[in-house]
Amino acid sequence: MNPPGQAVCPALTAKPGGPLNGEVHAPGDKSVSHRSMILGGLASGVTEVSGLLEGEDVLRTAAAVAALGARVDRLGEGHWRVEGRGGFVEPAEVIDCGNSGTGARLLMGAAAGFDLAVTFTGDASLRRRPMGRVLEPLGQMGARWLGRSKNRLPLTLRGGALRAISYRLPVASAQVKSAVLLAGLNAGGQTEVIEPEPTRDHTERMLRAFGARVEVFDEADGRHIWLQGGQALAGCEIKVPGDPSSAAFPLVAALITPGSAVTVRGVLLNPLRAGLFATLQEMGADLQIVNLREDSGEPVGDLIARHSHLRGVEVPAERAPSMIDEYPILAVAAAFAEGRTVMRGVGELRVKESDRVALMAAGLQACGVAVDEQRDSLTVVGVARGAHPVRGGARVTTHGDHRIAMSHLVLGLAAQAPVTVDEPGMIATSFPGFVDLMTGLGAEIAP
């Protein structure tokens, strides 16, 4: 199977208007969606996935899993069937991961334990992103590769017999942790990953759902995750919860737009992903979490956001792993708050799809918001009760980054003047249907 080509999309403009009201469902969580495809392909038997995020990134991963030997079928909207054969085989063609760093890094780890050679590539953005942080531990385990300078894609990985290692993450990274654990499934001995700060644990949870034994211990020097090599995975049913990173956009839009009340149902509330919601509540947000429940081993709930008077806070660096993708939309909320919001530990944002710290700082400044950008921090000076409201009125350069685009569109809904973003086609990588969902709540977003 092959993912559809990315549609060409003109610039989008968000105009200030009336309040946002209504109930929506968040699209499926991207992290869980990627992992359901990859583990389904590694397992023996059938895995049925419901609620899959059908964005460009995940479709690329589904196509990669099919190229690596699994049978992958779409049964209906968000409903997919993966028939794995207990491992990967050498693909006939290059694996194109598009814009997805998660897909590329996790697939590298999963493929490293098999006797095959596979070439990975991606779009222009992904080809600039660092792969060395994943390749270093995979190399210690016995994998080999040949790539461009600075270990950039395109890159050919040669897998085979791996040895287990104990690896301490130099920086908190769920992608690197997951790649090592997936490689460890086919390594001799017990693989250990030690992380300085706990990162999203969807891989550990889902490995258990597929029948693997994963042990986690918190020690004085960090969190230790142990996985014995040679474990077989069995297909299972996975229900993908709503993505908290996507839910953040309509929720923050409601918080900053007068008269608004928005409910987002079925949102993943894994404590290692809920840093934004805790931060917004610290800022005084009228943000309620109701109907808590559990789906496929993950906590899920409904969130209700109402327009609120927000105040600036200091977000500690140790919270970064639990909200690393949400800092751009938090910066928008901070622009409408009273006082300064200081976000520390955000250096990882500089090696995402773009330098998100620099792009958010530039976009906010173009919209009349004062910011202070440092290497590992971003400070936003909110204008609430100040001399002027958020001005808006800018055309924002996104460098094709979906989160930068969506964040500035949300800002435009509550600013004085419309905000336009270029290259909005990339929004489909993580949030297909974003514009329709937002306009359904009353937002004015159009080309």
Nearest alpha carbon to residue 86 among 256, 255, 211, 203? 211
Strands, E assignment, 275-326: 286-295, 298-306, 314-315
pLDDT-derived band at 44 (thresholds 50, 70, 90) equals very high
d(CA 123, CA 126): 5
Q: What's the pLDDT at 1?
A: 57
Query: Average pLDDT, stretch 130-154?
Result: 95
Query: Average pLDDT, stretch 62-86?
Result: 98
Q: What is the pTM of this model?
A: 0.88
30-239, what's its fold? UDP-n-acetylglucosamine1-carboxyvinyl-transferase; Chain (3.65.10)
Query: Average pLDDT, stretch 351-374?
Result: 91
Q: Count CB neighbours of 348 within 10 A.
A: 18
d(CA 59, CA 282): 36
Q: What confidence tens digit (pLDDT) does each residue in 302-349 have?
A: 999 999 999 999 999 999 989 999 999 999 999 999 999 999 999 888
* Residues labelled catalytic: 325
Is domain 12-28+242-446 in CATH 3.90.1170.50, yes or no?
A: no
Query: Average pLDDT, stretch 136-148?
Result: 97
The amino acid present at 373, given as its one-letter code, is E
Residue 296 has pLDDT above 90, yes or no: no
Q: What's the pLDDT at 302?
A: 97
pLDDT-derived band at 5 (thresholds 50, 70, 90) equals very low
d(CA 311, CA 318): 21
Residue 427 has pLDDT above 70, yes or no: yes
Q: What's the pLDDT at 388?
A: 59
**Is 398 within 8 Å of 421 (Cβ atoms)?**
yes
pLDDT-derived band at 6 (thresholds 50, 70, 90) equals very low
Whole-number percent of the chain with pLDDT over 90: 88
Residue 2 has pLDDT above 50, yes or no: no
Average per-residue pLDDT in the chain?
94
d(CA 116, CA 143): 10
Q: What's the pLDDT at 7?
A: 46
pLDDT-derived band at 162 (thresholds 50, 70, 90) equals very high
Is the fold of 12-28+242-446 the same as that of 30-239?
yes
Q: What's the pLDDT at 385?
A: 59
d(CA 13, CA 447): 6
Domain boundaries, given as residue ranges, for the chain: 12-28+242-446, 30-239
Q: What confidence tens digit (pLDDT) does each residue in 373-416 have?
A: 998 999 999 986 554 589 999 999 999 899 999 999 999 999 99
Q: What confidence tens digit (pLDDT) does each residue in 82-113 have?
A: 999 999 999 999 999 999 999 999 999 999 99
Lowest mean pLDDT among 132-146, 218-232, 338-352: 338-352
Residue 209 has pLDDT above 60, yes or no: yes
pLDDT-derived band at 3 (thresholds 50, 70, 90) equals very low
Residue 212 has pLDDT above 90, yes or no: yes
Q: Please report, for residues 86, 161, 225, 436, the alpha-carbon distance to residue 189 in angstroms, rounded to integers and kept in the order given.
A: 19, 12, 14, 50
Nearest alpha carbon to residue 125 among 356, 345, 361, 325? 356
Using the Cα atoms of residue 159, residue 165, residue 170 and residue 174 in order, give the sign of their dihedral: positive
Show the tokens assigned to 330. 């938090």
Pairing, β 155-158 against β 166-168: unpaired
